[in-house]
Structure 1
Amino acid sequence: MGKASTRLAAARTWWRVWLVLCGWLVAMLVMASDEVPARGDDAIHFGILPIGSAAESREQWKPLLDDLSNRLGHPVETISVSSYAGLSNAIADQRVDIAFLSGRLAIDAVARQHMNVVAQFVRSDGAKGNVAMLLVRVDSPIHMLDVMLNQPGKWRYARGEALSVTGYVAPEAQIFAPRGLNSDTFFRSVHIGNHQNNMLAVVNGEADVATSNNPDLDLFQHNFPHESGQLRVIWRSTEIPCGVLVIRDGLREPLRSRLVAFMRDYGKGGDAAAASERARLARIPDLAAFDAADNLVLKPFIDMEYTLQRQQARHGRWVSDKARDERLRQVDAQYRQALARLRP
């Protein structure tokens, strides 16, 4: 009986320990779930591509988004991140209802993340395009693009993320790949950051060449007037379509239609209210309006990506001509698939 009692007491002790452990585990799971706030059904989640810093982008968009919230009667939560990859992940996790994106991010959102283009940005001069740039210090020995290209391994490069059209894709497609070069191996060193920090790196002598675009350069000139005077443009791309607004397929009606109508109509008209809206739009660098658009507006980005991939395949090192030709056929097939996804 003594041994049986001992075994019973031990079993009870282990049972109590088990209950405590279970309770602790449940508590930890609850705490973990609390760390990621649940989406409110009533809120509109607006993703903002970072221009400058994430904090600057939020501040620039805030007056417009306050109007959106008041007009539609829904709170607006901004998803403002410091990187393109961060915004892409938020879209993939379905934490974004509507977003401002540039070309490659928008292509991924349409092709893989159940979103569609509803509007395109119009610049303050009425254009619907930007240009990518390469910048150096005014006192740089790189007087022109050929000087840079004729000295591989000498210069330090500050570029955008691989998802950035003006920070990576355009310079790669229009400068490096046609010459059989890859910027990641051409330069002595490569630093990846946003346009503002890359331009500051050139000004401060931490990089020799930086990528940017005209809206970001305009913003840099406004925020850093002294430093911007120390920069010089040595290359400009062909015109690249402006960024777009994409909206999640599953956003319920009539909220979806009201949201699209608000963005497309914002700042348009001749009355005082529209004039006030245009003033709020002007807080966002180089933005004047949102014009109606659909997925087909992304075709120039797909064409640029296709050109880049074909050039990289043609100039790459391959074990055989057969391997190269197979890669080219794969690039062609992916291009056709990408175009097919743009069609309604």
Structure 2
Amino acid sequence: MEWRIRLALRQQQWHQAGQWISLLPESHRAKPRWRYWQARTWSLQSIKPEKTLQMLQQLASERHYYGFLAADIVQQDYDFNHSALISGQSGSDVSLSPEITRARQFYQMGYFVPARREWAAATRSFDQSQLIDATHLAHQWGWHQQAIHTTIKADSWNDLSIRFPLAYQADMIVSAESATINPEWLYAITRQESAFAKDAYSPAGATGLMQLLPGTAKQVAERMGVSYTNRDLFSADKNIALGSNYLKQLLDDFSGNRILATAAYNAGPHRVKSWLNRQAAALPHDIWIETLPFYETRNYVQNVLAFSVIYGHRLGIDSPLINTEESSIGQP
């Protein structure tokens, strides 16, 4: 059913798209994605104005991609819904757990795999309050990946300082300035790629904080005129420097459009160019993103755009979800 909706959106058949949405199971229609598109199709048909406004205003009070899209439409400030986690409510000191102790020792020695194994063993039986205490521990150690994952396991989503940490801040700011890209975008890409795990390694060989492929990193290093070995990708400062310069390269390749550059970072620039070449006409940004052929890239772009807004907030930067020049994508 969802592919039918996306096809109708792509063809800008608003009535048809709205009909397909109405046939979704109620649990699906309640999701932010389809609430947004239900309101959007009503708006584009100039029908149900009161329901449309009500639905968009409700979405605009939520912190996610569709909430930020809705906030832009109704000209409402973004709502970040930050709420700090309160530790010390579990009645026990989770730091005394033998597994937590071993996890900390392994982590501090740089043995991340056994550290994660011990952490998983410890938190498997924790209740929510213990998970929150453990989240604070990982955050204090600078082990951001585990702090992020553990707060999700605790079903606690609103402490932005933990879920969106300003990790490696000096390197991130310097590299963003050097590459002349927005630091909030650099943070958003890194958060999406690895959750700040500098030892991250994918089956495809993508490595480090920004999940760079060695071949890509080598090409970027050559353009930068710096020395390079594959081991450099496990070094936070070098990975960030290479990744930020690659983002700048993609941004230039796509005429400063972060949406296209973000999609290219995930799916590859040649694939994004092929999608654009198959377009008969320009599309609104939200439709172009919603109808991307790869599920992974669609969610990736949506997450990065939303994370950019949140990191702008964390850095004290007014960062819109979509820039004016990004509002239409494809051939004019």
Is the structural similarity TM-score above 0.5? no
- Which has the larger share of strand? 1
Q: Which has the larger radius of gyration?
A: 1
Bigger fraction of residues in helix: 2
TM-score of the two chains, using structure 1 as the length reference: 0.26
Structure with greater contact order relative to length (CA < 8 Å, sep ≥ 6): 1
